[in-house]
Amino acid sequence: MRLLVIEDDATLRESLAAKLEENGFAVEQAADGKEGLYFALEYPIDLAVVDLGLPEMSGLDIIREARRKGKAFPILILTARDRWEDKVDGLDAGADDYVVKPFQFEEVIARVNALLRRSGGWASSVMNAGPVTLDMSRQELVVNDEPVDLTSFEYKIIEYLMVRAGQVISKTELTERLYDQDYERDSNVIEVFIGRLRKKMDPDNTIKPIETLRGRGYRFALERGETA
Amino acid sequence: MSSLSARLLISVSILLLFFFGVTGVVLDTAFRKAGEQAREDVLEGHLMAILAAAEPSDNGDLVMPPDLQESRFSAIGSGLYAEIRDSGGNTVWLSRSALGLAIPFGLVSQDGSRLFREESFADGTPLLTLSIAVQWEFPDGELRPYIFKVAESLDSYNAQVAQFRQQLFGWFGAVAVIMLIAIGVLLGSLLRPLRQIETQIGEIESGSRQSLAGEFPTELQGVARNMNILIDSERARSERYKQTLANLAHSLKTPLAAMRALISQTRRLKQADRFNEQIDRMDEIVRYQLRKPAASSGSLMSVVPVAQEIDRLIEGLTKVYHDKEPEIRADIADGAQFRGDKGDFLEVSGNLLDNACKWCARRVLIAVQPDAAGLVLSVSDDGPGIPDDAADALLQRGTRLDESTPGHGIGLAVVKDIVRSYGGDLTIGESELGGAEIRVTLPAA
């Protein structure tokens, strides 16, 4: 998944981006409000982390503008003041959750995961569909009670598909959202990864978790289960 | 004497009393002088008439005709009397009007000059008397001394004077009262713009008005204009203060967050923990210092529409507690308003609602009712509740940083600080939903 981090403090922004990348996200960084808004509007983004106190353009204005332009991705605000007046203003403008500085990275990552899940319509932190269970906080995939050993890119694909279970995801979308930089990578690579994923998750070809829709893309096909 | 109207009315009263008093005394004196002069002239006329009427008789005495031209000499007790005595003091003639009365004959004129005196009958009736001593030349050529005396009762004259005084001071009194009433009314209308300004300033302080407005007289337009400038600058100052706090928070906390980020990259875990501890301490200090209630900073208050702000809070919290899906119900009295700082109100209700959402099983209720002093706000949940001893500990806990802990604690400590700064109170109890109920009273600032 591709995240956007808008934060003017370089140390904080880069550490946060590094931490998020460690957790399997592709991260765009913006150092001021204007750049941030440009990224938010023009880049394929799954979630934005927005600092409220930014040069050039305030975080609140970015959120309002992005929402006005119809951007629906979840937004997590970083606020320095933990007065409710500021939090409510942020939530009112269109943010979905807040983290108060100075935060623990684990907290930011937990919130990011929760927001991404929520945006895919999952209520619980552990997503479960039939025999397949994915725990985002642990980056762990379990099929038929057996943990599946995945590479980081394979994990990114299954997480992306499973969060949006039931939706058709094009190869382009997958490349855009999962690669760090190079959007032009050959889409055949995706096919290869999907093939490997199918083999690892469903060696006997009985569950059929990932469906291919010719010319349109892929879909995580299992019924969403009860929340764990 | 702080009231302008009282000051003016009292000084005008003193002035009126002095003016009318002096005028009254002058008029009264003049009236009496004129009256006395007229009396004396009349009395002198009567004396002349008596002198003219007296005739020497054959037996060497003076006689008076039985009927004098002035009939009052003949009517008994008419108030006009006359007497003639000889040198031995024997009454030669007494007017019929003086029948049964003894005209005082103490001091009389000893020569040809006239002597006016104020005397009185034995019963106290005041008299004005005029006496003259004459040498009467009889036909035989002999000169005999006689004393002629006329007296007139002052009763009617005194009554006249009294009536004049009564009328004079009656009218003066009435005029003074009318003038005072007129001045009072005039003052009322003159001071109305001032009172209007006073009322409006009160409204500005309590937040129900933005600036002084209205048709002020020319003399007050400058005052009103300067007042508005002052209010605007005060408002701007308070806004700048908030902005400064926000910037300060941002510029302090971002480096703290960055430090934490850097620390998280080190492999020396022991040192990292100690650094994080220091960061936490700095963070707490910044948080506490930047959280001071606005009410205690003496800024201008505003009117906060309670229902609208609570709706925003509930909407926000519904997002934040998306996974838990708490059922938040608001029971807000129609048109409830909080007079104070909006940030303070949001801080109180936000913290209480946040805690309730955190601890509830499913249901949260926020109720706001107006009371005599301001508002009563209560937040209940169906969570585990707060045991009595823990509640006491929470409430007794001061605002000391090291004693605040996350959870119910720190939020409540903040709420308590704010509520106290408005002179309100916070109580922890059991809610009908089964969990905790926090009730705060929020008097208007």
The residue ranges of every structural domain in chain A are: 2-119, 126-220
Q: Does domain B4-160 match CATH 3.30.450?
A: yes
Q: pLDDT at residue B197 above 70? A: yes
A87 vs A115, A154, B409, CA distance in Å?
Answer: 17, 37, 19
Question: Residues B137-142: what's their mean pLDDT?
Answer: 81
Which architecture does CATH list for A2-119?
Answer: 3-Layer(aba) Sandwich (3.40)
B246 contacts on A by Cβ (under 8 Å): 53, 80-81, 86
Interchain pair A11, B262: CB under 8 A: yes
Interchain pair B258, A9: CB under 8 A: yes
Interchain pair B350, A88: CB under 8 A: yes
Question: Residues B426-433: what's their mean pLDDT?
Answer: 88
Reported confidence tier of residue B377, pLDDT bands at 50, 70, 90: very high
pLDDT at residue A66, as a whole number: 94
Q: pLDDT at residue B253 above 50? A: yes
User: Which of B127, B53, B128, B125 has the alpha carbon at shortest distance from B93?
Assistant: B53
Q: Which of A185-189, B279-283, B407-411 has the highest mean pLDDT?
A: B279-283
Residue of B nearest to A114 (CA): B323
% of chain B at pLDDT higher than 90 = 18
Reported confidence tier of residue B405, pLDDT bands at 50, 70, 90: very low
The answer to whether B412 and B348 have CB atoms below 8 angstroms apart is no
Interchain pair A105, B351: CB under 8 A: no
β-strand partners of A149: none
Across chain B, mean pLDDT equals 84
β-strand partners of A217: A213
The SS3 call for residue B348 is helix
pLDDT at residue A228, as a whole number: 42
For B373-411, letters b (16+ CB in 10 Å) and e give ebbbbbbbbbbebbeeeebeebeebeeeeeebeeebbbb
Fold of B302-443: Heat Shock Protein 90 (3.30.565)
The answer to whether B360 and B436 have CB atoms below 8 angstroms apart is no
% of chain B at pLDDT higher than 70 = 92
Q: pLDDT at residue B311 above 90? A: yes
Interchain pair B315, A12: CB under 8 A: no
B420: left (phi over 0), alpha (psi -120 to 50) or beta: alpha
Quote the CA–CA distance of B325 and B2 in Å, as a whole number.
61
CB count within 10 Å of CB B66 equals: 7
The nearest CA of chain A is from the CA of B365 a distance in Å of 19
How does pLDDT run across B153-195, given as a tens digit for each residue?
888 888 888 999 899 889 988 998 998 899 889 888 888 888 8
Q: What are phi and psi of A92, to 5 degrees?
A: -65, -40
pLDDT in tens, chain A (228 residues): 899 999 998 989 998 999 898 888 889 999 999 999 999 999 889 999 999 888 888 999 999 999 999 999 999 999 887 788 889 999 999 999 999 888 888 889 989 998 998 888 887 778 888 899 998 878 889 998 889 998 888 888 898 899 888 889 988 888 887 776 655 566 678 888 899 989 989 888 888 889 998 888 899 988 887 554
Q: pLDDT at residue B122 above 90? A: no
Q: Flag whether the ipTM exceeds 0.90.
A: no
Does this model's pTM top 0.90?
Answer: no
A94 contacts on B by Cβ (under 8 Å): none
The residue ranges of every structural domain in chain B are: 4-160, 231-289, 302-443
- Cβ neighbors of A158 (< 8 A, separation 6 or more) are A134, A141, A150, A197, A201, A210, A220
Interchain pair A88, B312: CB under 8 A: yes
Which candidate from A11, A85, A114 shows the least CB-CB separation from B258? A11
A126-220 in CATH: which number?
1.10.10.10
